[in-house]
Chains A and B, each alone.
Chain A
Amino acid sequence: MEGETLVRVRNLRTYLYANGRCNKAVNDVSFDVRAGRTLCVVGESGCGKSVTAASIMQLLPPLARIESGEIAYRSAEGELRLDRLPRNGRAMRSLRGRDLGMIFQDPMTALNPVYSIGFQIRESLRYHTRLGAPARRAKAIELLADMGIPLPAQRSGEYPHQLSGGMRQRAMIAMAMACEPKVLIADEPTTALDVTVQAQVFDLMERLKRERGTAIMLITHDMGVVAELADEVVVMYMGNVVESGTVREVLKSPAHPYTRALLGSIPLLGRGRSQRLEPIRGSTPDPFDRPPGCQFAPRCPRQEPACDAGLPPEVEVSAAHRVRCLFAKEGRDGR
Chain B
Amino acid sequence: MIAYTLRRFLALAPMMLLMTFLVFLGLELTPGDAVSFIAGPEAMANMDGSQLAALRESLGLDDPFLARYFRWLGGVLRGDFGYSLTSGVPIARIVAERLPATLELSAAALLVSTLLGSALGLASALNRGKALDQALTVAGMIGVSVPEFFFGLVSILVFSIELKWLPVGGRTRPEYLGLWDRLPHLVLPALVLGVSMTAGVMRYARASMLDALGKDFMRTARSKGLPEARVDLVHGFRAALAPIAVLIGFRLPMLIGGSVVIEQIFQWPGVGSEFLAAVRGQNYPLVMTIALLSVLAVLAASFLVDLATAALDPRVKLS
By a beta-carbon cutoff of 8 Å, the part of chain A in contact with chain B is 57, 59, 88, 93-98, 101-102, 104, 106, 109-115, 120, 123-124, 127-128, 159, 161, 175-176
The interface-forming segment of B63-71, B168-176, B177-185, B211-219 is B211-219
| Residue in B216, B221, B314 whose CB lies within 8 Å of A106 | B216
For chain B, the bracket of interface size reads 20 to 34
Task: Report how far A96 CA is from B221 CA in the complex, Å.
Answer: 10
Q: Which of B235-287 contact A (CB under 8 A)?
A: 235, 238-239
- With A159-B314, A159-B315 as known contacts, state yes or no: A112 contacts B223, CB within 8 Å: no
Contacts of B224 in A (CB 8 A): 96-97, 123-124, 127, 175
Where chain B touches its partner, the secondary structure class is helix
- With A106-B216, A127-B226 as known contacts, state yes or no: A112 contacts B315, CB within 8 Å: no
Judging by beta carbons under 8 Å apart, are A59 and B219 in contact?
A: yes
Interchain nearest-CB distance for A228 vs B (Å): 26
Residue of A98, A110, A112 with highest tally of chain B CB at under 10 A: A112
1/0 per residue, CB under 8 A from A, across B7-25: the answer is 0000000000000000000
In the complex, residue of chain B having the shortest beta-carbon distance to the beta carbon of A128: B225
| Residue in B216, B225, B238, B314 whose CB lies within 8 Å of A127 | B225
- With A95-B225, A97-B224 as known contacts, state yes or no: A104 contacts B314, CB within 8 Å: no
Judging by beta carbons under 8 Å apart, are B225 and A98 in contact?
A: yes
In the complex, residue of chain B having the shortest beta-carbon distance to the beta carbon of A113: B315
| Residue in A88, A94, A113, A124 whose CB lies within 8 Å of B228 | A88
Judging by beta carbons under 8 Å apart, are A114 and B313 in contact?
A: yes
Task: Report how far A97 CA is from B313 CA in the complex, Å.
Answer: 26
Contacts of A120 in B (CB 8 A): 220
Contacts of A98 in B (CB 8 A): 225
Contacts of B226 in A (CB 8 A): 93, 97, 123-124, 127
In the complex, residue of chain B having the shortest beta-carbon distance to the beta carbon of A121: B224
Interchain nearest-CB distance for A47 vs B (Å): 20
Q: Does residue B312 face the partner (Cβ distance < 8 Å to A)? A: yes
Judging by beta carbons under 8 Å apart, are A113 and B313 in contact?
A: yes
Task: Report how far A102 CA is from B223 CA in the complex, Å.
Answer: 6
Judging by beta carbons under 8 Å apart, are A59 and B222 in contact?
A: yes
In the complex, residue of chain B having the shortest beta-carbon distance to the beta carbon of A99: B225
- With A161-B314, A161-B315 as known contacts, state yes or no: A111 contacts B228, CB within 8 Å: no
Task: Report how far A114 CA is from B223 CA in the complex, Å.
Answer: 18
Task: Report how far A332 CA is from B217 CA in the complex, Å.
Answer: 44
